[in-house]
Amino acid sequence: MADTNIPYSLNSKKVAEATWRLLEERGVHTEEIAELVMVLQKKYYPDLSMEECIENVEAVLSKREVQNAVLTGIQLDILAEQGKLLSPLQELLANDESLYGVDEILAFSIVNVYGSIGFTNYGYIDKLKPGVLERLNDKSEGIVNTFLDDIVGAIAAAASSRIAHRKQEDHEIEEGEPTAPEQE
Ligand SMILES: [Mg+2]
């Protein structure tokens, strides 16, 4: 039996590591999310490099709110895949029921991390479903990615917003204008 006298404490590093591990285990690599960022941002910043996209995806993934959303969403996908949820949630998730929108609501907590401009990016990438998103939407193999597809799109959208904010700051520094304090 667990000793209930030990105070609850969860190491941040453990949460971060679990996030990275779960994404990898579900077949999503950082580079693939960075490719979505490139799709979203290359028309605005033709010089944008893949390294910058990866760096911004990693910055998004380092935030605890984002980690919490990733852990929650992937856990629900896994339980649905294993048939372990109560009915009717089990059927709703296993069939990616169109009237179930909690996957998108959870993703919004990621989109929000760098402000409201993320919503436009999220809507765009969700319609287009390029690259990894197309694969995550393929329901033929009995794999449930009901939450994961929205989560991945949201991470890319948030990373794009981060880039937009950073580029604006760089521009203001170049112009010698006073800048607002930098975001994490
Ligand atoms: Mg979904």
Please tell me the predicted confidence (pLDDT) of residue 4.
63
- Report the distance separating Cα 169 and Cα 61, nearest Å: 21
What's the gap in Å between 3 CA and the centre of ligand 1? Answer: 39
What's the gap in Å between 17 CA and the centre of ligand 1? Answer: 24
Please tell me the predicted confidence (pLDDT) of residue 140.
76
- Report the distance separating Cα 94 and Cα 178, nearest Å: 51
Region 130-156 average pLDDT: 93
Please tell me the predicted confidence (pLDDT) of residue 169.
87
What's the gap in Å between 89 CA and the centre of ligand 1? Answer: 14
Q: Which of 7-11, 68-72, 131-135 has the lowest mean pLDDT?
A: 7-11
- Report the distance separating Cα 37 and Cα 86, nearest Å: 36
Q: Kindly list the distances between the CA atom of residue 46 and the CA atoms of 50, 73, 92, 166, in Å, as whole numbers in the listed order.
A: 11, 33, 41, 15
| Structure confidence at residue 99 as a pLDDT band (50, 70, 90) | very high
| Structure confidence at residue 130 as a pLDDT band (50, 70, 90) | very high
Please tell me the predicted confidence (pLDDT) of residue 107.
97
What's the gap in Å between 182 CA and the centre of ligand 1? Answer: 33
Q: How confident is the prediction for the chain on average, in pLDDT?
A: 92
| Structure confidence at residue 5 as a pLDDT band (50, 70, 90) | confident
DSSP string, 126-156: HHH--THHHHHT--TTS---TTHHHHHHHHH
For the chain, which residues make up each domain, given as ranges?
Answer: 13-173
Please tell me the predicted confidence (pLDDT) of residue 182.
56
What's the gap in Å between 73 CA and the centre of ligand 1? Answer: 10
Q: Is the pLDDT of residue 111 over 70?
A: yes
The tokens describing 59, both together, are 């910055």
Specify the CATH class of 13-173 in words.
Answer: mainly alpha
| Structure confidence at residue 180 as a pLDDT band (50, 70, 90) | low
**Between 182 and 128, residue with greater pLDDT:** 128
The tokens describing 2, both together, are 């667990």
Q: Is the pLDDT of residue 181 over 70?
A: no
Please tell me the predicted confidence (pLDDT) of residue 27.
95
Rounded to two decimals, the pTM is 0.91
